[in-house]
């Protein structure tokens, strides 16, 4: 490996050339970009499945595809979006690029493990795609037994894929936790850490503690299906509700694995674009940890109608309500951050505001579902579909989009077109609401989810929803178009286009191979903007030198 | 290229409703409410009051959040980057505010939780004197067994009486959902679950399966008829009599529909999850073991009682056993019916 050259143009993108220099790289930024490419390709696949589903639901009867294909399409959509897109989206893709930069470090603690995690992701994704092309699983992403052990589709490759993806997630969490403990720069105390890193920290805890449970559960399911050992299937002496307990013991924390990093991204964007210190830093930081801990104790709220005992249901419902508090605290603090700020409505900020919008709706509709009596009516209807899409799609994906735009200049060294960016954000937000608001209405009116055929009464709502989905699809195509185009034609990005004070903005765009020439020393919090001033010649922010200030 | 795309889009948007005429589709009665279906049980109104309370809390909090967000965006919007506008204040914490916005929602949340808990206990504690009806979920059909042993594919209940439904499944997990009664419970293989209601409105309301159960999950529909006065008892007696007097082949045809055979076995020769019944009697089938058998009375009877034993080649072993569910008379009827399907 060549030593970092001293030329000005040398950066991590140009440092080495050729496809092998990417596939064998140990550089966290390159690994992050490879994750980003993979995650966005998976997003295209999962999104296409979503478009197919919404097109099929245009009429109450058969429209484009048959029963079986429809069931396979929603299984594919769910599994791809959860395991391949949202879970690795912010932590593995953006986190990999940004985390060591924010720490002023050269890399993560275990660069080889980091590359191995990416390869595990690829192998896991290939397993899922194997299932897709052989005879796509039709179980739904939840793999409920005994359906998943008796269906004739190829469930085992899909399970095995999710199993391997779990390891990718565990290793990433482990790597980030170690990095955060060991590689913080001189002067960066825990409470001087950027909130994105607090979020990644909380996520890491959940990834390490919850994901092994999913692994073992899927393995048991594989054993039952392949060898016929009775664990979950009552015909073999097993218990199908046990599977649900195991599954949600992972998959509820997984919801927070998906959304807590999104909180982190938004917590970075709000102060930078308000030119103001974040409001309630400690509350936001510690609420991430509170959510991570409480998130382990609420899995039974997915099972109020499964025949689980009333006592268990009560406990799960109660703890679920407790989680609402740290979540609400965050939202209030973000709003308070804008108070008396100097708010710039650039694309990342628009996505952050969109996040606040959709996440508020996703949050309050969660109350209907955590209340046991109203959940009985709403469980497994479109109300639930709308709720978790507002949180997952509206929350996690919106924040991912915000994060991509926010760090795009840093990652690629190019600016995206600001005007198109804003138009794209507005189209996506409009489409999102048009897709999922009608789903709340049809859900509370009794429309069950995962229905290929439906009663005519629900057709107008379904058509509105489909129109919204197509709008959103076009919005994302627009975003993809201008982002890809900006790689070639975008103007060169300044080091600090938004005026952030976290360390990643204090190196070049794109960063050098070793990130920083001298290890930075931290003397203040991450959200101090007094030292930065906009310089029109640079097109970005520059630090006011100490002499000039005095 | 673009032309054909536009054309196919137009045909797609104009796609006529190609509804399968065979598919049973219950009607949803016009509701008096915007958000929820009609309230047709004693618990429906109770659950809806809480639903409305949460709705108000939600709408008000969301409006407040949106208003604050919009107001701050407009009021504190910076002119441009060049003017290097600084924030008007760098205030970054207020413990009083943090405590207020943590504790205030807490009271609302507690009230919602306690209210929901109380209703849930009532929802799932069936009164002692209830009429008990057994519901069985199977791919992709509900069957209901009444106290006198009569079995039907639709649910009939009396108005103003407590009815407890004991639910089981013979294959995978299903979920019995009666939206107008705000009642739902999973049908889990290997155990009984239950729900209860007291219907307060006469009429016909839809029944759905809400736990994904495979290919025709969305066709696993039925309906509940709420009878006034003695209507329920009269219906039950009349149905029993009707069945008694049917000639065997017609009885068999009735059973074919009631017990969900139609979900897998077609009558028109098309292939489905199970072998078609067209011309099945007297046909020579190749079993999964390679053995050849002629379909006669005994083969049909065995296939109903122990369906996993002799599987026809090329079909998945998915059929549940009907042992104990069908009387000899009904099995004779099914055999007679199959002889007529040629």
Mean pLDDT, 10 residues at a time, chain A of 550 residues: 51 88 93 96 95 95 91 94 93 95 94 96 93 88 89 90 94 96 92 95 93 92 89 87 91 92 96 94 92 91 88 90 91 94 95 95 93 93 96 94 96 95 96 96 94 93 96 96 95 93 92 88 90 91 68
How far apart, in whole angstroms, are the C-alpha atoms of residue A376 and residue A244?
Answer: 17
| CB B104 within 8 Å of CB B111 | no
The yes-or-no verdict on residue B88 having pLDDT over 60 is yes
Helix (H, G, I), strand (E, B) or coil at B166: strand
Smallest CA-to-CA distance from A421 within A411, A406, A436 is with A406
The answer to whether the CB atoms of A280 and B72 lie below 8 A apart is no
**CA–CA separation, A239 and B173 (whole Å):** 11
Burial grade of A30 (CB within 10 A; 0-12, 13-18, 19 or more): buried
Q: Are strands B155-158 and B222-227 parallel, antiparallel or unpaired?
A: parallel
CB atoms within 10 A of CB A24: 11
Number of neighbouring beta carbons within 10 Å of residue A156: 18
Taking an 8 Å cut-off on Cβ atoms, the answer to whether A360 and B65 are in contact is yes
Query: For residue range B168-215, what is the model confidence (pLDDT) as tens digits?
Result: 999 899 999 999 999 999 999 989 999 999 999 999 999 999 999 999
Note the pLDDT tens digit of each residue in A273-293. 999 999 999 999 999 999 999
Asked whether the predicted pLDDT for residue B324 surpasses 80, the reply is no
Q: Are A346 and A336 in contact (CB under 8 A)?
A: no
Tell me how far apart the alpha carbons of residues B245 and B314 are, in angstroms, rounded to a whole number. 39
Of the candidates A324, A356, A456, the beta carbon closest to that of B109 is on A324
Instruction: Name the band, by pLDDT with cuts 50, 70 and 90, for residue B7.
Output: low
Please determine, for the modelled complex, whether the ipTM score is greater than 0.85: yes
Residues 6+ apart with CB under 8 A from A172: A88, A91, A92, A95, A96, A114, A117, A204, A207
Distances (CA, A) of A374 to A116, A303, A467: 45, 13, 29
Asked if the Cβ–Cβ distance from B47 to A451 is below 8 Å, we say: no
| Chain A residues with beta carbon closer than 8 angstroms to that of B124 | 310
Between positions 107 and 166 of B, the ones with CB within 8 A of A are 109-110, 112-113, 115-121, 123-124
What is the H or E stretch that residue B119 is in? Answer: helix B95-123
Closest-approach residue (CA) in chain A for B29: A457
User: Cβ B69–A356 below 8 Å, yes or no?
Assistant: yes
Whether residue B86 and residue A239 make contact (CB cut-off 8 A), yes or no, is no
B282 touches chain A (CB under 8 A): no
pLDDT at res. A548: 52
Record: contact A63-B15, CB cut-off 8 A: yes
Q: Is residue A77 a contact partner of residue A42, using CB atoms and an 8 Å limit?
A: no
Residues of chain A contacting residue B210, judged by C-beta atoms under 8 Å apart: 379-381, 448-449
* Interchain contact, A306 vs B186, CB within 8 Å: yes
By C-alpha distance, the chain B residue nearest A152 is: B316
Q: Nearest Cα to A407, choosing from A498, A506, A513, A481?
A: A498
- Give the whole-angstrom CA distance, residue A514 versus residue A27: 9
- Number of neighbouring beta carbons within 10 Å of residue A371: 30
> What percent of chain B is predicted at pLDDT more than 90?
42
- Whose structure tokens read 């559960």? A217
How sure is the predictor about B91, in pLDDT bands with cuts at 50, 70 and 90?
A: confident
- pTM given for the model: 0.89
Structure tokens at B33: 């409410």
Return the structure tokens found at B130. 């209830």
Evaluated on CA atoms A172, A174, A179, A180, the torsion sign reads: positive
The C-alpha atoms of residue A327 and residue A329 are separated, in whole angstroms, by 5
Chain A residues in contact with B223 (beta carbon < 8 A): none
Closest-CA distance of chain A to residue B324, Å: 18
């Amino acid at each position: 490996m060549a030593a970092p050259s001293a030329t000005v143009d040398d950066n991590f993108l140009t440092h080495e050339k050729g496809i092998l220099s990417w596939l064998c790289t140990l550089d966290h930024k390159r690994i992050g970009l490879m994750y980003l490419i993979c995650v966005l390709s998976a997003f295209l696949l999962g999104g296409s499945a979503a478009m197919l589903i919404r097109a099929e639901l245009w009429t109450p009867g058969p429209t484009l595809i048959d029963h079986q294909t429809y069931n396979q399409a929603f299984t594919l959509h769910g599994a791809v979006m959860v395991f391949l897109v949202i879970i690795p989206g912010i932590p593995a893709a953006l986190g990999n690029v940004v985390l060591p930069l924010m720490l002023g470090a050269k890399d993560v603690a275990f660069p080889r493990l980091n590359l191995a995690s990416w390869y595990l992701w690829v192998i896991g994704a290939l397993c899922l795609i194997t299932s897709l092309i052989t005879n796509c699983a039709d179980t739904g992403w939840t793999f409920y037994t005994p359906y998943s052990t008796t269906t004739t589709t190829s469930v085992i490759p899909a399970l095995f894929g999710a199993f391997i993806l779990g390891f990718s997630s565990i290793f990433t969490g482990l790597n980030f936790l170690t990095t955060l403990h060991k590689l913080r720069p001189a002067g960066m105390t825990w409470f001087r850490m950027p909130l994105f890193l607090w979020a990644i920290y909380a996520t890491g805890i959940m990834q390490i503690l919850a994901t092994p449970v999913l692994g073992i559960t899927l393995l048991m399911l594989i054993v039952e299906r392949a060898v016929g050992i009775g664990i979950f299937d009552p015909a073999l002496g097993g218990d199908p509700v046990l599977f649900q307990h195991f599954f949600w013991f992972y998959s509820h924390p997984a919801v927070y694995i998906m959304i807590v990093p999104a909180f982190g991204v938004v917590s970075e964007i709000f102060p930078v674009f308000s030119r103001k210190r974040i409001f309630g830093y400690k509350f936001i930081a510690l609420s991430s940890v509170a959510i991570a801990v409480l998130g382990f104790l609420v899995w039974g709220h997915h099972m109020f109608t499964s025949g689980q005992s009333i006592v268990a249901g009560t406990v799960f419902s109660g703890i679920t309500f407790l989680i609402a508090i740290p979540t609400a605290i965050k939202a209030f603090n973000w709003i308070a951050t804008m108070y008396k700020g100097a708010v710039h409505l650039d694309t990342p900020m628009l996505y952050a505001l969109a996040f606040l919008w959709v996440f508020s709706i996703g949050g309050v509709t969660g109350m209907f579902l955590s209340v046991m009596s109203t959940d009985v009516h709403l469980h497994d209807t479109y109300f639930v579909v709308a709720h978790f899409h507002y949180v997952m799609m509206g929350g996690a994906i919106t924040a991912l989009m915000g994060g991509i735009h926010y760090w795009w200049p840093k990652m690629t060294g190019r600016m995206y077109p600001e005007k198109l960016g804003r138009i794209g954000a507005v189209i996506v937000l409009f489409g999102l609401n048009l897709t999922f608001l009608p789903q709340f209405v049809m859900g509370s009116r009794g429309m069950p989810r995962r229905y290929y055929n439906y009663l005519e009464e629900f057709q107008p709502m379904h058509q509105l929803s489909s129109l919204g989905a197509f709008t959103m699809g076009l919005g994302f195509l627009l975003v993809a178009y201008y982002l890809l185009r900006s790689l070639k034609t975008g103007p060169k990005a300044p080091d600090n286009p938004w005026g952030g004070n976290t360390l990643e903005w204090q190196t070049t765009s794109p960063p050098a191979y070793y990130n920083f020439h001298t290890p930075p020393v931290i003397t203040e919090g991450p959200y101090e903007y007094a030292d930065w001033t906009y310089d029109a010649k640079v097109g970005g922010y520059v630090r006011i030198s100490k002499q000039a200030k005095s | 290229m673009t032309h054909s795309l536009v054309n196919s889009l137009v045909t797609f948007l104009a796609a006529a409703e190609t509804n399968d005429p065979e598919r049973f589709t219950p009607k949803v009665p016009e509701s008096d409410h915007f958000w929820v279906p009609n309230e047709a049980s004693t618990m429906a109104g109770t659950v809806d009051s809480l639903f409305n309370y949460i709705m108000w809390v939600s709408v008000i909090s969301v409006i407040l959040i949106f208003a604050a967000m919009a107001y701050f965006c407009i009021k504190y919007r910076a002119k441009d980057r060049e003017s290097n506008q600084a924030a008007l204040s760098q205030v970054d914490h207020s413990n009083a505010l943090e405590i207020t916005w943590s504790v205030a929602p807490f009271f609302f949340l507690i009230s919602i939780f306690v209210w929901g808990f109380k209703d849930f206990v009532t929802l799932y504690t069936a009164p002692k004197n209830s009429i008990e009806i057994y519901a069985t979920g199977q791919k992709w059909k509900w069957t209901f067994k009444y106290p006198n042993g009569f079995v039907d594919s639709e649910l009939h209940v009396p108005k103003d009486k407590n009815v407890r439904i004991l639910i089981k499944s013979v294959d995978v997990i299903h979920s019995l959902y009666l939206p107008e009664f705000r009642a739902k419970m999973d049908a889990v293989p290997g155990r009984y679950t239950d729900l209860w209601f007291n219907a307060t409105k006469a009429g016909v309301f839809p029944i759905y399966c809400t736990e994904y159960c495979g290919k025709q999950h969305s066709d696993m529909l039925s309906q509940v008829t709420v009878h006034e006065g003695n209507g329920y008892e009269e219906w039950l007696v009349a149905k029993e009599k009707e069945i008694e007097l049917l000639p065997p082949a017609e009885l068999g045809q009735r059973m074919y529909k009631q017990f969900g055979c139609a979900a897998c076995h077609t009558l028109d020769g098309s292939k489905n999850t199970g072998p078609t019944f067209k011309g099945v009697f007297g046909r020579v089938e190749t079993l999964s073991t390679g053995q050849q058998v002629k379909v006669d009375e005994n083969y049909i009877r065995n296939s109903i009682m122990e369906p996993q034993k002799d599987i026809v080649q090329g079909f998945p072993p998915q059929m549940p056993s009907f042992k104990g569910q069908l009387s000899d008379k009904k099995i004779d009827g099914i055999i007679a019916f199959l002889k007529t399907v040629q």
